[in-house]
Each structure stands twice: as C-alpha cells, then as structure tokens.
C-alpha cells in the first residue's frame, strides 16, 4: 500500500476499533467476538509499527479501557491500571520469552496464571478496612463502585491484619450465575449478556447495589500494588501474602522458568477450560521478580514485563435446519436454531438459542444457512456469524411469527423490549409454565406438584388456570400415571394447605412481571389485601421504598386485565386467602430510618454490622458502603476514619451508638 492507502486504512481501523471498544468496555454489549476485535487491533498495531509517523494520540493503541460513566464518582488511580499486551501463538510467546532473556541477560522465572474473563478492579484498605473499590476506567481515572463491591461476599471487608494497602484483580461472574441471569433476562424480554465478562461489568456498574448483590459476583485478586511496604519481593510471594490476608486468589497460579513447561500449562488449561466454574480466555505470564518488573517498566499502555496468551477461538461449522419458537411463563417468545449435530468445546451441539427477533435480523440468519458456532461464556451455544459464501441462492429471510404459535394471539413488542411477547393470559403454553411457577417453593409451595404432573393435568384438560388446582378431586388425580391413594391424598392436602398462605405468596405465584418475592412481600405489607392493592394508584405503589415506577406500571397493567380480575374472583371462590398474615417489618412511621440512605462505619460495641444493616433495612432504610452527596445519615462507631471526615465535609447527619439506641427505640429525632 502507498502512504495514502495506509492513512485511509488506519482511519477506518481506528473508527471501527473505537466503536467496538466503546460497545465492549463502556456499554458492556460487544458487537463482535473477541477474536474479531483482536484481529482488527493487531492489524492496527502492525500498520502503526510500520509507519510510526502516522501514530496519533487518539489511536486505540494509545488508550486503556473505556470511558468513565457519568453516573459514578471518579477515582484517580495513583498507579495507573494498564492493559496487557496480547499474543496469539506459541511462537509469539517464545519471542516474548527471548526478548525478556535478552533484556535481563539470563533466563528468569515467570509467574503463570489464568486470564480470567472479567472486569479489572482496584480495592483500597485503610488500617485493614475496605474504604474504596473502583474500576479501571481509562487506566488513570476509574469509577467508584464501593457500594457495589460491598455486596460481593468473597471480598474481605476487614483484613486479618490492620494494614493500609491497595490490591487489584478481576471481578467475574461464575458460569452458573451467568446462565441463570441470561435466562431471567430472556424471560423478561430484555437483551441478554454476550459473555460473563460483560455480565460482570454490567452488574458491577449498577446504580442500585441490591441488583449487584443478586448477580452473585466473585473475584480473583492477583496484584499487590505497594508490595515494597511489606517486604514482598516476588509475584508468587504477593499472591501468598494476599491469600493470608483473606483475599480470594486463583489456585492455578504457579512459578515456571521453562517455556516448554509454560506450553504444557497452556495445553492443560485449554483442556480443563470447559470444566472450570469461571470463564478464561488465555493465560498470563509475569516476570516473577517484582524488582525486575520495576526495572523493565511500561510502555504508554502496557507493562513490558507481562504478556497475555489468548486461546484460539473454538468454533464449529454447521447448517441451520429450522428455527423453533418457544414461550415462557411471562409470554416471551424465544427462537432456537435446530442444526446438524456438531462437536463444540467437548460436547455435541444440535440446538442454539437465537435469543430474539433482533438477533436473527442483525446477523441475517436464515433456515438453510451455514453458520459458525461458539460457546458464549464457554457454556451457551451461540451462532457467531453466517458463512455468507456458503449461502444457497435464493434463500429467503427467516420467517418471524406475528401470532403466538400456541394460542394464535397477536404478538407485541412492549416498550423498551427486544423480545416478541404474547400477552394473552389464557395462552396454554404460558399457563403450563405459570402453573409450575405457582406451585414452586418460593411461591405457593405445593409439595409434589412439578412440571411433569402439571403437563398431565393440562393434557387431560383438568386445569386451565391456577384456580382449577383447588377444584381437583380424588377421582381426577386417580387418572394420572403412577398416582396411587397415598400420593393422591398427599397432593390434595398440599394444595388445600396453600389456601391459608399469606398474600405475598399468592402475589409472587401469579407471576406478575417484575414482581419478585421481595417486592411481593413489600406490596402485601403495605396494602394488606388484594382488593386494596388492585385499587391502589400507580403513585401509591411507586412510592414504596425500592418498588418504583416499573413495578407500579406492571401491576397496573396486570390488574387492569379483565381475565386477571376473573381469575382473582375464581381464587376467592375456592377460598384462597387474599390477605397479608405475616409480621410487619417496615415501620413507615419511623422517621429516623424509613426511606433514608445510611452508611455504617467504625466499631460498634453492641451491634454486629451485618445484623444492624438488616434491622435498618427492615425499617425501610437503604444501606450503602460509601458516603456521597446522596447519603442521609452516617452511623459512626469508634475509629470511624475517612468516612466520618467525608460525611462532615458533605454536611451529612451523623449519629453515634448511643443516639442509635435512642432512634431504634424511637425516643429521639434527627434535627
């Protein structure tokens, strides 16, 4: 290429990589697979190496990570959080080793560890107590996510020794949690996460810590920033030191000084990759000697003393034979590709979720297409791309249903949803799914009524909705396969016992969109009976602490449906309890805590912090881990530290333990 062609190609590459980087790092919604991004990035690096005079400050090769979202406070990293250089072949890895030997003058030990598919995280401790958590951001300025990281159980809130230090590592989402989260989002008609890394990033950057807590995040800590302060001289010693302090470190880390052994390590974990509970996309080599790391230093973007070897993408090619549409209890239709069976990541795959109509259109997937498959997060088979060169001539676009394949009702797109949805509450497919949910443990808890029995009852036309469960007789159940007298009586007793359940069990069992078990409890406590709730205004519902407009809108839409109103009447007719019979946990008259955002800090003589937080939450408070302009109250024990200083600077109300005793007994008031 001549210089003009190079300039044109550089401009296109930088624009495309910036677009992909923004989607990946900032929006947590990647547009392409990692391997495709890596290929473009490598091309940019090579062109810039050949033409250094064309390198500009705005090039992606000169930047780290993504933007800092405006919704979070900014944190400046005293020591920048840099990216890592990547290699994609064993030959390149050997070249890195030879370069290190040349720079150092002899062979050296490497600390080898797995490259976790997660989000870089910094944790700061003062006198042994966690005071700040932040993301990498652009490498120099990150996002303050302290309140969210306080909900991650394997991050120690207090160290085994009262040390002041900073550690760094990776926040990740376990594969089981990733699969569960995507299932839930798909059922709600929401866009699914592409991989565990983006799911972890999206979860850690939530404005509501309660959402982060539900996502079940974990961490692996691997960097001790101020190692010199503790006479730690190697990466291996640093990991052991951090482990003793209570941090979660990865047990696979080991020290190796032979490139052949490193290649054996790579081969081992490529084989074990699918069996791990967390996602990995390669291995990381670090010079083990921390003094040597300092001596070798960094480029503008990456350390010279470490490198990441990226596993090659594992893909398989197959042909789509059909697209099936299934429906969940919330009415969301999910398309599934039916394919010629193919081996992928150690398993035989013949089906892959297509998630929603939008994905089919975006990737232009057609029945009869040859496609490449990969496993999202190493667990979920997913179509990577269509092999357009192998598309048969005249292949028509995949048909998108306009009517429900089960009840023929017209399908709709609800606001802000990517999914097609059937909103007919009498849809048989939804009813079957809904009946199983109604009987589940956290709902009405009908012991012995599982999906298999529900399917039999439905096929024999004994039930059409949940109210029919309470009309079943001994003779009805005797027609079911394998049901004898004892099992029949047990199920009838179990069904009858649920008539006395408190209202929140019924509300959750009805499967109202966005109404989980906790929201159902709050609603039942507040409105006491079903009629009062059905007649409540959207504002009355939304004003309940932690409920909000989304749930209020969903409830209003649900109870406005004539068929839902008929169902409630039928449930009343069979004597299902419609009132709240539990204890009231929220004291709406407690002006000290209800609706307040509260931070607890320091040592309390008569309270355990976790139990106090739970008690205050029951009184309507929201407990967070960091003091901000939105904090209403700081509860300060002995040795309160920096949070007390910050609360004073922001003019936040502050109380001590004695005042707390008074507020809990409601004998004092906040000025």
Residue 370 CA: distances (Å) to CA of 247, 319, 376: 46, 4, 19
Residue 19 Cα to chain centre, angstroms: 23
The answer to whether 431 and 465 have CB atoms below 8 angstroms apart is yes
Residue 432, classed as helix, strand or coil, is helix
Residue 163 Cα to chain centre, angstroms: 31
| First-to-final CA distance of the chain | 74
Kind and range of the H or E run holding 336: strand 332-344
Summarize the chain as % helix, strand, coil (round to 5).
40, 20, 40
- Dist CA 433 CA 28 (whole Å): 31
- Dist CA 136 CA 159 (whole Å): 23
- Catalytic residue positions, numbered: 115
* Cβ neighbours for 392, distance < 8 A, ≥ 6 positions apart: 368
Residue 589 Cα to chain centre, angstroms: 35
The answer to whether 205 and 69 have CB atoms below 8 angstroms apart is yes
Burial class of 407 by CB neighbour count within 10 A (0 to 12, 13 to 18, 19+): middle
Burial class of 642 by CB neighbour count within 10 A (0 to 12, 13 to 18, 19+): middle
Where in 97-247 does DSSP place strands (E)? 110-116, 119-126, 129-135, 141-143, 165-172, 218-224
Torsion sign (Cα): 345, 349, 353, 359 = positive
Torsion sign (Cα): 408, 409, 413, 414 = negative
Residue 158, classed as helix, strand or coil, is strand
Q: Which of 467, 458, 389, 469 is nearest to 429 (CA)?
A: 458
Residue 123: CA atoms inside 13 Å, Cβ hemisphere, count?
A: 32
Specify the length of the chain in residues: 671
Residue 655, classed as helix, strand or coil, is strand
What DSSP assignment string belongs to 273-296? GGGSSS-EEEEEEEESBHHHHHHH
- Dist CA 655 CA 636 (whole Å): 6
Alpha helices in 127-216 (DSSP H): 146-149, 175-187, 196-204, 209-214
- Dist CA 606 CA 540 (whole Å): 37
- Dist CA 348 CA 405 (whole Å): 28
- Dist CA 203 CA 208 (whole Å): 10
What DSSP assignment string belongs to 566-597? HHHHHHHHTT---B--S-----TT-TTTTT-E
Q: Which of 117, 115, 37 is nearest to 282 (CA)?
A: 115
């Amino acid at each position: 290429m001549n210089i003009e062609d190079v300039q044109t190609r550089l401009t296109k590459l930088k624009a495309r990589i910036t677009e992909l980087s923004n989607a990946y790092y900032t929006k947590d919604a990647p547009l392409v697979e990692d391997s495709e991004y890596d290929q473009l990035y490598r091309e940019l690096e090579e062109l810039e190496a050949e033409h250094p005079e064309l390198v500009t400050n705005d090039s992606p090769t000169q930047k780290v990570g993504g933007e800092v979202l405006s919704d979070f406070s900014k944190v400046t990293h005293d020591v920048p959080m840099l990216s890592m250089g990547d290699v994609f072949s064993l030959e390149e890895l050997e070249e890195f080793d030879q370069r290190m030997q040349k720079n150092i003058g002899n062979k050296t030990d490497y600390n080898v560890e797995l490259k976790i598919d997660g989000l870089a995280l910094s944790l700061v401790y003062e006198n042994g107590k966690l005071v700040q958590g932040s993301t990498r951001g652009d490498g120099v300025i990150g996002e303050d996510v302290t309140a969210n990281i306080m909900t991650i159980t394997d991050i120690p809130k207090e160290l085994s020794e009262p040390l002041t230090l900073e550690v760094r590592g990776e926040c990740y989402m376990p594969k089981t949690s990733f699969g569960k989260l995507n299932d839930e989002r798909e059922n709600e008609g929401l866009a699914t996460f592409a991989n565990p890394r983006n799911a972890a990033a999206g979860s850690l950057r939530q404005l509501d810590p309660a959402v982060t807590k539900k996502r079940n995040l974990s961490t692996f800590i691997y960097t001790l920033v101020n190692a010199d302060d503790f006479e730690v001289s190697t990466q291996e010693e640093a990991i052991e030191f951090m482990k003793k302090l209570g941090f979660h470190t990865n047990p696979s880390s080991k020290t190796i000084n032979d490139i052949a052994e490193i290649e054996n390590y790579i081969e081992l974990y490529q084989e074990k990759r699918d069996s791990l509970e967390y996602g990995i996309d390669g291995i990381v080599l670090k010079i083990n000697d921390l003094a040597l790391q300092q001596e070798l230093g960094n480029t503008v973007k990456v350390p010279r003393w470490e490198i990441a070897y990226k596993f090659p993408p594992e893909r398989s090619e197959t042909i789509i034979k059909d697209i099936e549409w299934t429906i969940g209890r919330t009415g969301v239709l999910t398309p599934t590709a039916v394919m010629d069976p193919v081996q992928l990541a150690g398993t035989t795959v013949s089906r892959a979720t297509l998630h929603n109509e939008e994905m089919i259109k975006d990737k232009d997937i057609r029945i009869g297409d040859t496609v490449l498959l990969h496993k999202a997060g190493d667990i979920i088979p997913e179509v990577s791309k269509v092999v357009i060169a192998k598309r048969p001539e005249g292949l028509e676009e995949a048909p998108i249903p306009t009517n429900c394949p089960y009840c023929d009702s017209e399908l709709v797109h609800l606001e802000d949803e990517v999914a097609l949805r059937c909103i007919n509450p009498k849809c048989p497919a939804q009813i079957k799914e809904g009946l199983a949910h109604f009987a589940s443990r956290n709902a009405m808890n009908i012991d012995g009524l599982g999906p298999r029995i529900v399917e039999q009852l439905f096929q024999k036309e004994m039930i059409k909705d949940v109210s029919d469960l309470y009309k079943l007789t001994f003779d009805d159940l005797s027609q079911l396969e394998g049901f004898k007298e004892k099992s029949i009586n047990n199920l009838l007793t179990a069904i009858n016992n649920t008539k006395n359940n408190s209202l929140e069990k019924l509300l959750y069992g009805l499967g109202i969109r966005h109404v989980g078990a906790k929201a159902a409890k709050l609603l039942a406590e507040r409105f006491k009976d079903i009629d009062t709730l059905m007649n409540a205004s959207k504002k009355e519902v939304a004003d309940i602490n932690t409920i909000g407009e989304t749930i209020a809108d969903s409830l209003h839409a649900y109870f406005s449906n004539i068929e839902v109103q008929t169902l409630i009447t039928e449930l009343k007719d069979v004597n299902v309890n419609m009132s709240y019979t539990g204890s009231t946990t929220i004291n709406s008259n407690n002006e000290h805590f209800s609706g307040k955002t509260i931070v607890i800090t320091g040592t309390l003589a008569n309270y355990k912090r976790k139990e106090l937080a739970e008690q205050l939450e029951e009184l309507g408070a929201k407990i967070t881990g960091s003091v901000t302009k939105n904090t209403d109250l700081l509860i300060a024990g002995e040795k309160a530290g920096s949070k007390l200083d910050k609360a004073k600077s922001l003019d936040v109300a502050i109380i001590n333990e004695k005042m707390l005793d008074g507020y809990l007994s409601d004998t004092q008031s906040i000025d």
